[in-house]
A and B are shown apart, each in its own frame.
Chain A
Amino acid sequence: MNDAHTKRRRRDLIVAAVLALLAACAPLVVKDVYIQNIMVLTLMYAALSQAWNILGGYCGQISLGHALYFGLGAYTTALLFTKFGVLPWFGMLGGGVLSALIALGLGYPTFRLRGHYFVIATIVIAEIALLLFLNWDWAGAALGIDIPVRGDSWAKFQFTRSKLPYFYFALAFCCVAFLITWWLEDSKWGYWWRAVKDNPDAAESLGVVVFNSKMGAAAVSAFLTAIGGAFYAQFVSYIDPDSVMTFQFSLLMALPAVLGGIGTLWGPVLGAAILIPLTELTRSYIGGSGRGVDLILYGTVIVVIALARPEGLIGLFSRKPAPKGVPQ
């Protein structure tokens, strides 16, 4: 049985490596910039959802306020670059660290809340941050920040002529998020998180420090989310509070994991691969008159999943039938 476990983990890595390789070759075939754009977003959301999944899926602390960390990553990078000329790579790292620290600061009071109250707190905090940024003149307030073009280079992480560098960064980001999760899954943290999610009282009786577990998950999750935000700022080269900090981003980070399989390694990847292209395509094909159709789509997807496959689409791939809880 020891072997079965090791084999399964090795298989996860091999499948991921093959998929990453295939994805890396995709631009050789796909020349359409529009499709490339969708691929970048899909990879980005796969990574973001993977980050969300660490806190929401493994540790069971459902956050609908991750737009806060996404926005902090984007703003830190953009502000440091435009105001002080700091290279985006440092901004990215700084945004990550800042977000992790803020996640710890917010976790201190909010992790005492259980269930719905925690979710509500995350939404409210992200909304407060959105309002602050909308009114913060130095940070561009509602007008946002235009990231000036200084010529294509990896150092400045700016590319105006091709989307491909962004694509490869997004792919690398996705791989890193996957690997981190893969590694954490079979570590003390991974087990502690799942124990905290399933039954905090039992976890405590077994020596799991519940509060610290949640704090750890929040910090890792926020750090990775901010990296995604920093990337997004460079990718779109213009940010304002409404484009990086709204509730919709929080949803977009949570949904792929929920759709694919919450608390699973492959859930976020699978969910993003389905949801993001679907969203982008409906948005463009239905066009301006269809504003909000993508939102109707999320809603429908969530309802269908909740009814038919509460454990997510990943359940379709498992050999055993979905276990039903046996009421005691």
Chain B
Amino acid sequence: MSETLLETRGVWQRFGGLVANSDVSISVGRGEIVGLIGPNGAGKSTLFNLIAGVLPPTQGSIIFDGHDVTKEPATARCARGIGRTFQVVKSFESMTVIDNVIVGALIRTTVMREARRKAHEVLEFCGLGARADVLANQLIPSEKRRLEVARALATEPKLLLLDEVLTGLTHTEAEKGVELVRRVRDTGVTVLMVEHVMEIVMPLVDRAIVLDLGKVLTEGKPADVVRDPKVITAYLGDRHAVSA
């Protein structure tokens, strides 16, 4: 890839005696869609939270857009251009859909009219235009996922972190989600997505990074990664690796 947007350098995260990430160094280039995959407990969510700035890494550094953001809190990283969604959706339940998105838009402008216009634009983009004036708690789960994406997009991110936005959706919903992610990328936003449903992510991503037991197991083109014996072992155990 032409230029690196995000880089983690030797990142470690320990929770007491548990090592969630050990020496993780990954990089994401501008304009890429990168999938972060791995079995349960591989440390995907932890790495994700480290990048989003929810907690500082125990060791190592995180470089975003040429700046060392390791010590910056989530709010500052948002201002720099890291947008995220949550695996367990965190809508502002008592607010309308449009107001949810306005909160995101307000980091780029304090003019309410402008924030509202931007929010409408993003909602249309995400296919939620018709639901703008509904309270967020009345949305169905797939719409809530879209709202998460819309809210993050309203902050005008350079890098969008998607935490299992496609998991638990019906096949049709997931396909619409895939299409949305592609359109997001086409607007120039880099996407890093955590997903463990391989069959959905693989056709979508340009590159996959596989984590296992807190370490980078392998990375590469999706087609190569799924055939990698190490990956199959990580997901399915030794017996299957042999037959592959």
Contacts and interface: CB of A to CB of B under 8 A. Distances in A.
Contacts of B54: 201
B67 to A, nearest CB: 16
Interface stretch (B134-142, B204-212, B236-244): B134-142
B110 interface: yes
A186 B116 CA distance: 10
Contact of B110 (A188, A199, A201): A188
Most chain B CB within 10 A, of A199, A326, A328, is at A199
Contact of A202 (B91, B94, B113, B120): B91
B155 A206 contact: yes
Contacts, number: 96
A66 interface: no
A288 interface: no
B137 A323 contact: yes
Nearest to B132: A1
A326 B138 contact: yes
B141 A328 contact: yes
Chain A: number of interface residues, binned into ranges? 20 to 34
A325 B92 CA distance: 12
Contacts of A243: none
Interface residues of B, number: 43
Contacts of B86: 201-202, 205
Contact of B91 (A187, A199, A209): A199
Contacts of B93: 198-199, 325
A208 interface: yes
B95 A198 contact: yes
B132 A209 contact: no
Interface string A248-279: 00000000000000010000000000000000
A210 B112 CA distance: 19
Interface of B: 52, 54, 73-75, 78-79, 83-84, 86, 88-95, 98-99, 102-104, 106-107, 110, 112-113, 116-117, 120, 132-133, 135, 137-139, 141, 144, 151-152, 154-155
Interface of A: 1-2, 4-5, 186-188, 191-192, 194-195, 197-199, 201-210, 263, 323-326, 328
21 contacts: A2-B117, A4-B133, A191-B102, A194-B99, A195-B92, A195-B95, A202-B90, A202-B151, A204-B73, A204-B74, A205-B74, A205-B86, A205-B152, A206-B155, A207-B75, A207-B155, A210-B75, A263-B94, A325-B93, A328-B88, A328-B141
